Amino acid sequence: MKKLGNVLIEVMQDLSSVSTNGSAHVEINENLCKPERFEQLFKYFSRGTILERIDLKVDPMSSRLECVCGYSEKVNSEHNGYGRCPSCGQFANVEDKEYQLLDPHPDKTQPRQSIRF
């Protein structure tokens, strides 16, 4: 899993590249950081940038155990990137995303237009 600072930079880059209309919604992995702490860090590091006035909503996101048999469940403990599926007993991958930008979704919004003075 990436470091918190790297994830914060990636979120800021994603948000600065799309048109946000003043608000954004992000999910952050619970194993990485608490949502309240991420909001505080975002507000601090976005001062003086185009992201300063964005109303950021941060929700927690869990890692998920995904098996080829179709079984899926939340993983709340430490893991090595895989675990045993309780349904079929095979080894299953753990989807461990650091964050997910929900709104504005990068695929569904227009790129930010550059501003010329």
pLDDT tens, position by position, 55-105: 999 999 888 888 889 888 887 766 667 788 888 888 888 887 889 888 876
Sorted by where each starts, the structural domains of the chain and their CATH numbers stand as 4-103 (3.30.2320)
Q: Which two tokens stand for residue 111?
A: 């790129």
- Dihedral sign (CA 79, 81, 33, 72): negative
Q: Does residue 114 surpass a pLDDT of 80? A: no
Report the DSSP pairing between strands 91-95 and 63-66: antiparallel
